[in-house]
């Protein structure tokens, strides 16, 4: 007899059938009795004041129920604290329909609610708004000189004397790297279906990465007890960070449902999706100095980003070099420019994707200046500890990522000279970069229920935005309680379930997974107690670590013949069900730094005459602790790599600063990689054991696949052409420019 093993094996998504057959419902697909529809009217100016809103023509349309504005709406909270969600940055959160002030172009200024969506949309087109325009500031590059240090993020103090070390360095590189505004563009637009309950409560089906975050937000804004608000998001059609904070469709739907005492759905258009948060434009200046052997002597990195006038948003961008490369002299800085745009928000690997792009391109430039192979330079400066916190890593298999990735890619066959490799009329470029991301864990809870017939239910309020959270929850529960996968039902995306953080930051498996582990272990303990009490029990005196739960039985590790069936133990103990809720928290001993690592190798082919770039091969070697499911984890890396290709070659939200408005606000003008842009992508999971990080030994993989990918593409483009483009995205006009 062998123990059941559901972990570490490729496993198809347990929610896959629901998604491909259409039985999985999303926020805008819940049809409830008496459903009305709301359409948002968006501001056409970037800054100013509403003088008057003309709603008579909209009210005259048959089927219109109401038109809500800042002058015509129910009362709600006025304090900043009431609008703060759990990941809100410092400042004063945006409040839809609060007053007459216009803070950004596209801001909601009215909500038209009608019996049918088409009626609401038509009536919304009839709403006219008179504005008192004010001069706006939306040009990031023009305002760089006004950047100020953020209240949110403190960079570490300098190490050593980087200025003097740079001046004395044998090899020096100074460069500036730029990234534009990028928008998330998940397939599912933001929507909320708010259902008025007879007891005065509200149930909301919302597109969100944090049901409890949204529940708390709604309760705060509308002054409701939390137990009168329930937010559900069992299925989310992509988010990439855009759903971490409550978006304005949520309070608008709740506002209308409470006022009309009926269900109301508010769905944003694709154009309105571009009025939400975004990856902020930024400029990064780096100065690297090294000795003649390539050893870093000085590392200076300054970041300037953008935020709104009303909140200070940014993430850790400049710290990553001190976590990757050994250097005694370092100076890091971050500052922000305030603009008349909405507040930026987290976008896949926030801070890491941006920082790694500049750091890894600068390292590539240093390699050429020092006449070293780019991989060799990274190995020379490899660091086995986080120099900021001065802590070793709990695990770090980055060297093995380099080795396995380079071997799979064939890096040893690379001709180091730019423009030296060809395939007919195409130039070939090979580039590489390093990736790093924090392996975080948050406090989370989960409930496990085992019934006498062998069925298991596992529940937590976490979301599943696509990484396979349903499947992860199912696998852990099935493994620990010794039942088939099909016997497990996973429940999530419901604010009434045990507490969980928002799904983001690659911490869901480590956080919620650890809580599931704790809940299932509590079930095991009670179940083993029942088995030990059976007359003549072969498990008498056995401790929990002495036994195995598998195939509906409990047996001793040292003697498989000494076993008790789960059904017999529960029957003898007169237990129809065993239910346990547990909470898991991260270790706070401060002994180790916890990170995932990767090595990304990229091949590009570039038409020499036309400048058209194709990413023809990518190898991403990832060390992320224990991989619970290579199928879903591999899919995460594949998707993230595609996102990195988008960063490097396609994605840019262009603005017309005369109007202070994003102009490429649709999927025709905002380019993302499509099938023709994606070729061979090989994912390698490097074996890495980590006994310190959490009971499962897992890290997250949602972010690590995009970190470093854009830099690897950019470095490959330079190797192919000899032209260093430091302004993303790398487009053919920039390559062809003399």
Which residues participate in catalysis according to the annotation? Answer: 703
Beta-sheet pairing, 229-232 with 385-386: unpaired
Residue 149: both structure tokens together: 């240090």
Cα–Cα distance for residue pair 580/587, rounded to 1 Å: 22
Q: How far is CA 413 from CA 17, 229, 372, 406, 613, in A?
A: 44, 61, 15, 10, 21
Do residues 311 and 83 make contact, with C-beta atoms less than 8 angstroms apart?
Answer: no
- What pairs with residue 32 in β-bridges? none
The answer to whether the Cα torsion of 445, 507, 695, 15 is positive or negative is: positive
Do residues 395 and 625 make contact, with C-beta atoms less than 8 angstroms apart?
Answer: yes
Residue 412: both structure tokens together: 């040893």
Cα–Cα distance for residue pair 562/537, rounded to 1 Å: 9
**Residue 729, exposed/middle/buried by CB under 10 A (0-12, 13-18, 19+)?**
buried
Residues contacting residue 321 through CB under 8 Å, at least 6 positions apart: 299, 301, 327, 330, 332, 355, 359
Residue 29: both structure tokens together: 């697909």
The dihedrals phi and psi of 607, each to the nearest 5 degrees, come to -65, 120
Residue 475: both structure tokens together: 């696998």
Cα–Cα distance for residue pair 549/159, rounded to 1 Å: 52
Do residues 207 and 236 make contact, with C-beta atoms less than 8 angstroms apart?
Answer: yes
Find, among 367, 308, 371, 318, the residue nearest to 342 by Cα: 308
Find, among 73, 29, 94, 111, the residue nearest to 275 by Cα: 94
Beta-sheet pairing, 444-451 with 426-438: unpaired
- 3-state SS of 664-702 is CCCCCCCCCCCHHHCCEEEEEECCCCCCCCCCCCECCCC
Cα–Cα distance for residue pair 577/527, rounded to 1 Å: 10
Q: How far is CA 720 from CA 95, 366, 431, 604, in A?
A: 49, 17, 9, 7
Q: Which helix or strand (DSSP H or E) is residue 399 part of?
A: helix 398-409
**Helix %, strand %, coil % for the chain, to 5?**
30, 25, 45
For 272-309, the DSSP string reads HHTTS--BPPEEEEEEEEE-TT--EEEEEEEEEEEEES
Cα–Cα distance for residue pair 572/696, rounded to 1 Å: 32
Cα–Cα distance for residue pair 453/367, rounded to 1 Å: 63
Do residues 41 and 109 make contact, with C-beta atoms less than 8 angstroms apart?
Answer: yes
Residues contacting residue 87 through CB under 8 Å, at least 6 positions apart: 213, 244, 245, 346, 502
Side-chain-facing half-sphere of 69: CA atoms under 13 Å = 23
Residue 649: both structure tokens together: 């070659």
Find, among 426, 343, 325, the residue nearest to 85 by Cα: 343
Cα–Cα distance for residue pair 676/692, rounded to 1 Å: 43
Cα–Cα distance for residue pair 379/293, rounded to 1 Å: 12
Q: Where on the phi/psi map is residue 77: left (φ > 0), alpha (ψ -120 to 50), or beta? A: beta
Residues contacting residue 248 through CB under 8 Å, at least 6 positions apart: 40, 94, 96, 108, 276
């Amino acid at each position: 007899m062998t123990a059941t093993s559901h972990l570490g094996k490729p496993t198809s998504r347990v929610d896959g059938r629901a998604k491909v057959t259409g039985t999985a419902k999303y926020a805008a697909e819940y049809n409830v009795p008496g459903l009305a529809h709301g359409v948002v009217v968006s501001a056409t100016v970037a800054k100013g004041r509403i003088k008057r809103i003309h709603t008579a023509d909209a009210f005259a349309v048959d089927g219109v129920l109401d038109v809500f504005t800042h002058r015509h709406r129910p009362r709600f909270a006025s304090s900043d604290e009431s609008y703060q969600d759990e990941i809100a940055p410092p400042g004063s959160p945006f409040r839809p329909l609060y007053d007459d002030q216009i803070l950004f172009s596209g801001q909601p200024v009215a909500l038209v609610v009608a019996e049918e969506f088409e009626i609401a949309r038509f009536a919304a087109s009839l709403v006219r708004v008179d504005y008192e325009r004010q001069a706006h500031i939306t040009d990031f590059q023009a305002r760089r000189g006004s950047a100020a240090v953020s209240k949110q993020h403190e960079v570490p103090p300098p190490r050593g004397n980087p200025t003097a070390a740079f001046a004395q360095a044998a090899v020096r590189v100074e460069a500036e790297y730029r990234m534009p505004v990028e928008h998330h563009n998940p397939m599912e637009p933001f929507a909320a279906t708010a259902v008025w309950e007879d007891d005065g409560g509200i149930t909301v089906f919302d597109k969100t990465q944090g049901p409890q975050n949204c529940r708390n937000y709604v309760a705060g804004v509308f002054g409701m007890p939390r137990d009168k608000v329930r937010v559900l998001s069992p299925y989310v059609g992509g988010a990439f960070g855009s759903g971490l904070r409550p978006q304005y469709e949520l309070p608008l739907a709740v506002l209308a449902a409470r006022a009309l005492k009926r269900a109301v759905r508010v769905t944003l258009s694709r154009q309105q999706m571009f009025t939400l948060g975004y990856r902020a434009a930024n400029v990064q200046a780096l100065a690297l100095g090294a000795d003649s052997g390539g050893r870093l002597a000085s590392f200076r990195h300054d970041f300037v980003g953008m935020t709104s006038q009303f909140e200070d948003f940014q993430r850790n961008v400049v710290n990553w070099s001190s976590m990757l490369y050994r250097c005694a002299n370092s100076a890091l800085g971050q500052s922000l420019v305030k603009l008349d745009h909405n507040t930026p928000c987290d976008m896949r690997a926030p801070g890491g994707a941006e920082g790694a792009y500049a750091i890894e391109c600068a390292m590539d430039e240093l390699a050429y200046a020092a006449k070293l192979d780019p991989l060799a330079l990274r190995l020379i400066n490899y660091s086995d500890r986080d120099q900021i916190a001065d802590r070793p890593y709990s695990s770090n298999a980055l060297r093995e990522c380099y080795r396995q990735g380079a071997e799979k890619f064939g890096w040893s066959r690379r001709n180091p000279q730019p423009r030296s490799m060809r395939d007919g009329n195409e130039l070939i470029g090979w580039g590489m970069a390093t990736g790093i991301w924090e392996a975080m864990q948050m406090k989370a809870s989960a409930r496990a229920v085992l019934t006498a017939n062998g069925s298991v239910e596992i529940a937590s309020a976490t979301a599943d935005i696509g990484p396979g959270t349903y499947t992860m929850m199912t696998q852990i529960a099935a493994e620990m309680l010794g039942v088939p996968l099909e016997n497990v039902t996973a429940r999530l995306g419901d604010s009434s379930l045990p507490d969980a953080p928002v799904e983001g930051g690659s911490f869901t498996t480590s956080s919620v997974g650890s809580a599931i582990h704790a809940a299932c272990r509590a079930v095991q303990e009670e179940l083993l107690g029942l088995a030990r009490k059976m007359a003549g029990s072969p498990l008498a005196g056995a401790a929990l670590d002495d036994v195995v739960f598998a195939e509906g039985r409990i047996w001793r590790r040292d003697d498989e013949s000494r076993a008790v069936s789960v059904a017999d133990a529960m029957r003898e103990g007169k237990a129809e069900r065993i239910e346990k809720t547990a909470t898991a928290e991260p270790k706070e001993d401060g002994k180790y730094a916890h990170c995932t690592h990767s090595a990304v190798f990229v091949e590009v082919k570039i038409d020499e005459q036309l400048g058209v770039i194709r990413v023809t091969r990518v190898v991403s070697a990832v060390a992320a602790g224990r991989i619970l499911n290579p199928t879903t984890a591999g899919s995460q890396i594949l998707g993230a790599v595609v996102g990195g290709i988008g960063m490097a070659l396609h994605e840019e939200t262009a603005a017309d600063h005369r109007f202070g408005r994003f102009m490429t606000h649709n999927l025709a003008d905002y380019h993302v990689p499509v099938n023709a842009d994606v070729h061979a992508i090989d994912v390698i999971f490097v074996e890495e054991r980590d006994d310190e990080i959490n009971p499962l030994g897992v890290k997250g993989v949602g972010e690590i696949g995009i970190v470093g990918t854009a830099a690897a593409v950019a470095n490959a483009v330079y190797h192919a052409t000899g032209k260093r483009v430091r302004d993303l995205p790398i487009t053919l006009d920039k390559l062809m420019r003399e």
